[in-house]
Amino acid sequence: MHAREEHSGATISLWSDELLRLTHAPFDTGPDSVMVAFASNAELQCFLALGWPFPTNVLDPYVENIVAINGNTAVWPPPDEKGRKGRPGLLDALKLHDLPARSQEHKDRMRDMILKNENYTPEQRREIQDYNEEDDDDTIALLGALPINDINHALFHGRYMAAVAREERVGLPVYSEYLLDELAPNWDAIRLHYIQRDDEFHLYDGVNFVEERLWDLIRAKGWDWPRTPTGRYQLKIATIGRQATRYPELKSLARLRDQIAELRINKLVNTIGADGFSRCPLLPFWTITGRNQPSARDKMFLPGLPKWLHGELKPPRDMALVELDFVAEEPCIVAGLSGDPAMIADYQNGDVHWLFAVRAGLAAPDAAVDHRIRDLCKPVCHGMNYGITPYGIAAKTKKSLDWAREMQARHRYVYSVFHQWRGDVVAQAHFDGVITSPFGWRLIVTANTKTRTLMNFLAQAGGGDVMRLVSIVATECGITIAAPVHDAFWILAPLDDLDTTIARMSEIMTEAGRLVAGIPIRVKVEAVVRWPQCLGDVRKPDAKGQAMWCEVRELVRNGGLQKVSNA
Amino acid sequence: MADEPAAKPDLKVVSNKDPAAIFDDLATLRKESKLTVKRKTVLVNVPVEKPPNNVHFRTHPTLKLENATVIKDKNGTSDVWYFIVPAMRGHPKLAPRLRPVTIMLACLWPGNGFLLWPVPERTSFKAWKSEKNAADLAQTIWMSMVWNEERSDFDVEKAEEIDIEPIWPKESFEELLKIGFADVIVDNEDHYFVRRLRGIID
């Protein structure tokens, strides 16, 4: 560890054996000090590992640099790396602010040297200390260059990074014996089983997809197919999924590729620790709306995998794993922020999609919910947040363009206050050159900012605000969050304290929703998994992915799988 | 892996820290939205015509102006309906051309457009009678109307399966009439339409 106290100029340099002897950080972490660290969730995880109390105040130049450039496409991604994903690292951030930066190669070499060794030679120790000192200097130089106008919000971001550190350290408990001893070793055989069953067009050779066969099929069928900039057919899973809505013959192929054939189980296995928990970096503030985007090289976030694999979730001994979801979080946020009385009433009275159907005249007010009609209205209601066109509505509902136009007109009519507000928000954003969420997450608005991005910003960034508030309050209250997942939380609770913990978490989520939207966002308990069961044991038979979970387990445990040659 | 005993995760029971107190502190960070830009959409055009033959329509049961008089004229390829005020109905150039109508508010499907429809009050021509019947029926059901060349009459049909109610404009009927007939209300001798009929070149 290397730290510097700015007010005294004192440096603190300690090696792991010295750190392990300490019960708290070797610098002031009280309310009159602030700890500055770049991507502080990593440092704070060390605090957790060492059992040190967290600093009261954290200021993270990684986050504040994102705040300074978020949405400014003229500076990020860099003009010569337009395809670059993610957020700027320390060296990138220094360059963005015209500060001198070391080479990436030097940083990579030092990081490798530190991580790959446990004992260091005197020469290596000196090099590491120099490297750490440079890192401190760079972080402080960057902080000085950042335009932090609102210290309270900057500290709020730091507080969230502390919550992220806690969440990343917990991770999701999984049924690791099944995953590592049964599923992963049989993975190719499982894939082969489904490929042989569902590959109607014989596009696979064993477990390998043969692109040329799909090209031939596209040409033979005369399908209109999107291409890459270099003229090749796009073969992404999402592309095939979209094409399957146009050409239903492709549905089984889309399902096969999405659910199993192209899934690399090793990316999940790589996340499993010795304690049977799956941990993946949450990557806070990675999206322009300030939300997390969990991923890592060669790792996959379990909730991002197909639903059937969520059956793997299994709490440790004497614990329960609980999923709490916000109910219609985004509709509630836009209803509350816009102040549309009809939209607020519909949210408070129940199912927003069905109540729109009633207002639109598609159903009588006293009629029982007709799921066919409700499901048609759902994409209309969701789409209106981002300005869906009648073409988009028609594509999603498979209804005519006339019907789609009518629904769009009716939505505008019944929620006229919302539509006026949405237009005003977009106009204001263009006028100000910036748009800001209720809790201060801002997006710089340029000529390149899409109108749809602005239309949807407050729903998404407001949702990010809610998730941050819940993460902070719940973790500071001692609730163990295993993972935040878009508009839901997986939490762990001791079995003998389960009801109290669920009640407290629900209360926190509802209150956080109210703070952002102005009206409480409802919360429901989506799943409760008690040790020794896994989610796959308790999920309802008709739940999404459950049938496949049972089918795969049956295949693995009762034979029926062929050996796969790796030749 | 399965043989290794799983390490006990570092989990804590819920502490007694009061979440409400934490929220008090965080609530001060909320930024009140101040929208200083307010857009205002103004209705500038209300079509005056009978419903096109490719839509279904409903007519409003009460928002209508009975005993009105109009004259249908051409402006290029489109129709222009002049509204003739009662005081001008006896004008010798206007009287022979007058059509007594009921101006009805019609809502169109698809697209939820609307228009002002001068529905003939006379039923001496069978097509006018059909038009009037269609407008009356459309007060409760979605109708369509297509000209049949062979019969020299409209084919009037009910929609097979439109099960939604029309959405009517927020503006008052008087406002809609003012917008729809702006510049084409003939209320004096010097109106350009009257002067044209008299053969006066301006």
Of the partner residues B13, B35, B165, the one whose CB lies closest to the CB of residue A425: B35
CA dist., res. B154 & res. A539, Å (int)? 61
Residues B28-37 have pLDDT tens digits of 899 877 888 8
Q: Check whether A519 has a pLDDT greater than 50.
A: yes
CA dist., res. A417 & res. A412, Å (int)? 9
Q: Is B33 on the interface with A (CB under 8 A)?
A: yes
CB contact under 8 A, A274 and B112: no
CA dist., res. B104 & res. B8, Å (int)? 78
| Total count of residues recorded for chain B | 202
CA distance readout (Å), A269 to A293, A300, A491, A510, B48: 19, 9, 21, 35, 69
Q: Check whether A72 has a pLDDT greater than 90.
A: yes
| Annotated domain spans of chain B | 56-198
Q: Which helix (H) or strand (E) holds A11?
A: strand A11-13
**Are the C-beta atoms of residues B82 and B180 closer than 8 Å to each other?**
no
Q: Is B74 on the interface with A (CB under 8 A)?
A: no
For residue B18, list chain A residues with Cβ-Cβ distance below 8 A: 477
Among A512, A539, A510, residue whose Cα is nearest residue A523: A510
Q: Check whether B6 has a pLDDT greater than 60.
A: no
Q: Check whether A567 has a pLDDT greater than 50.
A: no
Of the partner residues B26, B28, B164, the one whose CB lies closest to the CB of residue A362: B164
Of the partner residues B13, B22, B163, the one whose CB lies closest to the CB of residue A473: B22
Q: Which residue of B has its CA nearest to A428?
A: B37
Residue B21 distance to chain A (closest CA, Å): 10
Q: Is B29 on the interface with A (CB under 8 A)?
A: yes
Q: Is A427 on the interface with B (CB under 8 A)?
A: yes
- Token pair 């049909």: residue: B157
Q: What is the pLDDT of residue A487?
A: 95
Residues A235-256 have pLDDT tens digits of 888 899 889 988 999 999 999 9
Q: How many angstroms from the chain centroid is the CA of residue A156? A: 20
Q: Which helix (H) or strand (E) holds B155?
A: strand B153-158
Q: Check whether B8 has a pLDDT greater than 50.
A: no
Q: What is the pLDDT of residue B19?
A: 66
CA dist., res. A85 & res. A66, Å (int)? 13
Among A521, A496, A488, A497, residue whose Cα is nearest residue A507: A521
**Are the C-beta atoms of residues B119 and B101 closer than 8 Å to each other?**
yes
Q: CA angle at residue A86 from A83 to A87, to 5 degrees? A: 120
Among A322, A219, A271, residue whose Cα is nearest residue A533: A322
**Are the C-beta atoms of residues A348 and A519 closer than 8 Å to each other?**
yes
CB contact under 8 A, B31 and A169: no
Residue A367 distance to chain B (closest CA, Å): 14
ipTM of the complex: 0.80
**Are the C-beta atoms of residues A474 and A487 closer than 8 Å to each other?**
no
Residues 171-200 of chain B with CB under 8 A from chain A are none
Q: What is the mean pLDDT of residues B61-86?
A: 93
Q: What is the mean pLDDT of residues A97-107?
A: 90
- Mean pLDDT (chain B, rounded): 87
Q: What is the DSSP letter of A367?
A: S
Residue A52 phi, psi (nearest 5): -85, 145
Q: What is the mean pLDDT of residues A37-62?
A: 96
Q: What is the pLDDT of residue B13?
A: 44
Q: What is the pLDDT of residue A329?
A: 96
Phi-psi region of B91 (alpha: psi -120 to 50; beta: other; left: phi over 0): beta
Residues A424-463 have pLDDT tens digits of 999 999 999 999 999 999 999 999 999 999 999 999 999 9
Residues A271-308 have pLDDT tens digits of 999 999 999 999 999 999 999 999 999 999 999 999 99
CB contact under 8 A, A410 and B12: no
Q: What is the mean pLDDT of residues B131-154?
A: 96
CB contact under 8 A, A361 and B163: yes
Among A344, A326, A337, residue whose Cα is nearest residue A487: A326
Structure tokens at A94: 């220094």
Residue A566: pLDDT band by 50, 70, 90 thresholds?
Answer: low
Domains of chain A: 2-170 (no CATH), 176-318+538-557 (no CATH), 319-327+461-535 (3.30.70.370), 330-440 (1.10.150)
A28-32, A144-148, B167-171: which has the minimum mean pLDDT?
Answer: B167-171
- Token pair 């922020």: residue: A337
Q: What is the pLDDT of residue A467?
A: 98
Residue B172 distance to chain A (closest CA, Å): 16
- Mean pLDDT (chain A, rounded): 94
Contacts of A307 (CB under 8 A, 6+ apart): A543, A544, A545
Strands B78-84 and B185-186, how do they pair? parallel
DSSP string, A378-443: HHHHHHHTTT--HHHHHHHHT--HHHHHHHHHHHHHHTHHHHHHHHHHHHHHHHHTEEE-TTS-EE
- The rounded percent of chain A whose pLDDT value lies above 90 is 84
A199-213, A485-499, B37-51, B126-140: which has the minimum mean pLDDT?
Answer: B37-51
Q: Check whether B1 has a pLDDT greater than 50.
A: no
Structure tokens at A96: 């963005």
Q: Check whether A25 has a pLDDT greater than 80.
A: yes
- The residue among A511, A514, A523, A531 with the most chain B CBs within 10 A of its CB, best to mutate, is A511
Q: Is A265 on the interface with B (CB under 8 A)?
A: no
Structure tokens at A279: 């941990």
Q: Check whether A80 has a pLDDT greater than 90.
A: no
Q: Check whether A486 has a pLDDT greater than 70.
A: yes
Residues A375-393 have pLDDT tens digits of 999 999 999 999 999 999 9
Q: Which residue of A has its CA nearest to B111?
A: A406
**Are the C-beta atoms of residues A146 and A64 closer than 8 Å to each other?**
yes
Q: What is the pLDDT of residue A564?
A: 62
Of the partner residues A420, A469, A492, the one whose CB lies closest to the CB of residue B11: A492
CB contact under 8 A, A474 and B19: yes
Q: What is the pLDDT of residue A70?
A: 97
Residue A565: pLDDT band by 50, 70, 90 thresholds?
Answer: low
Structure tokens at A250: 């492709």
For residue B112, list chain A residues with Cβ-Cβ distance below 8 A: 405-406, 409-410, 413
Count contacts between A and B (CB, < 8 Å): 136
Q: What is the mean pLDDT of residues A330-350?
A: 96
Q: Is A490 on the interface with B (CB under 8 A)?
A: no
